[in-house]
């Protein structure tokens, strides 16, 4: 008996076709790796990432020779550039209101200020002049006091000098005593002590004290013909007048 060929089961056929489709879909689909980041990278970085993903896919391929390709899609990788240099400091905000200009004093106020300035200037000049006069007066008084003190001491030593003069007239200033007398006279001379009154000097009533008068045909003016005691002066100050005998012309 000849058997009729059996019609193919539609369900089996559909299952087979469905399995083949599922297998085909599973074999044809390529893995999709998505790396999302907020930074951006350049082309060299994208290429390096794609090469690394392809190498990983090749390592995971099945031994039968089925090759699955991996696709790496990098949507956005943002890389912020590092900030170099010192930090930026915001400049201070400029004041919104402009500085008010200086107000110059009015005419009457300016005149008052000038008058006060002139008065203070005159006061300063007056004080400066008074101070200069004060310094001069103090210096003059100091020198006067010093001269008076020195004159007082020298006046007390004048009698000793008179004794030395009388010893000199009699020829007693010899030897060590004469040397001491000369040293004393030189030391007193350093203080400004100056003797005066010599025979034949014109008579000066401001420096000589006449104790005797006579007339003589040998003189033409009052002249000191004899010195009884020498006079002394300290600088311009008269310490003691000279005692002299005066001869008036006939």
Q: What is the mean pLDDT of residues 185-195?
A: 91
Q: Which pLDDT band holds residue 131 (cuts at 50, 70, 90)? A: very high
Q: Please give the backbone phi and psi of residue 239, each rounded to the nearest 5 degrees, phi first.
A: -85, -40
Q: What is the mean pLDDT of the chain?
A: 73
Please write the tens of the pLDDT for every residue from 147-160: 889 999 999 999 99
Position 164 pLDDT exceeds 50: yes
Q: What is the C-alpha separation between 62 and 148, in angstroms, rounded?
A: 136
For the ranges 57-61, 146-150, 161-165, 179-183, the lowest mean pLDDT is seen at 57-61
Give the model's pLDDT for residue 244: 94
Give the model's pLDDT for residue 91: 52
From residue 44, alpha-carbon distances to 3, 36, 37, 48, 54 in Å are: 70, 17, 17, 6, 16
From residue 210, alpha-carbon distances to 28, 116, 159, 166, 237 in Å are: 162, 66, 19, 20, 20
Residues 6+ apart with CB under 8 A from 71: 30, 31, 32, 33, 53
Give the model's pLDDT for residue 42: 46
For the ranges 39-53, 71-85, 215-229, 236-250, the lowest mean pLDDT is seen at 71-85
Residue ranges in the chain assigned as alpha helix (H)? 10-28, 43-59, 107-169, 175-190
Q: What is the mean pLDDT of residues 226-236?
A: 91
Six-digit token string for 156? 């007390």
Q: What is the C-alpha separation between 35 and 124, in angstroms, rounded?
A: 90
Q: What is the C-alpha separation between 76 and 100, in angstroms, rounded?
A: 56
Q: What is the C-alpha separation between 115 and 121, in angstroms, rounded?
A: 10
Q: What is the mean pLDDT of residues 125-148?
A: 93
Widest pairwise Cα distance in the chain: 219
Residues 6+ apart with CB under 8 A from 38: 76, 77, 78
Q: What is the mean pLDDT of residues 188-217?
A: 91
């Amino acid at each position: 008996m000849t058997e009729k060929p059996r019609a193919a089961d539609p369900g089996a056929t559909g299952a087979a076709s469905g399995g083949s489709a599922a297998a085909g879909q599973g074999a044809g689909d390529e893995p999709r790796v998505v790396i999302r980041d907020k930074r951006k990278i350049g082309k060299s970085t994208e290429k390096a990432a794609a090469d690394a993903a392809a190498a990983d896919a090749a390592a995971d391929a099945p031994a039968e020779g089925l090759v699955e390709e991996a696709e790496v899609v990098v949507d956005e990788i943002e890389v912020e550039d590092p900030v170099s240099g010192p930090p930026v400091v915001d400049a201070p905000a400029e004041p919104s209101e402009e500085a008010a200009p200086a107000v110059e004093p009015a005419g009457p106020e300016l005149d008052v200020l000038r008058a006060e300035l002139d008065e203070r200037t005159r006061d300063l000049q007056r004080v400066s002049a008074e101070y200069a006069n004060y310094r001069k007066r103090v210096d003059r008084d100091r020198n006067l006091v010093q001269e008076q003190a020195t004159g007082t001491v020298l006046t007390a030593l004048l009698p000793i000098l008179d004794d030395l003069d009388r010893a000199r007239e009699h020829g007693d200033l010899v030897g060590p005593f004469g040397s001491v007398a000369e040293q004393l006279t030189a030391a007193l001379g350093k203080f400004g002590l100056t003797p005066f009154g010599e025979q034949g000097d014109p008579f000066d009533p401001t420096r000589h004290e006449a104790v005797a008068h006579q007339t003589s045909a040998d003189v033409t003016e009052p002249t000191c013909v004899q010195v009884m005691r020498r006079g002394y002066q300290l600088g311009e100050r008269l310490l003691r007048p000279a005692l002299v005998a005066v001869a008036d012309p006939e």
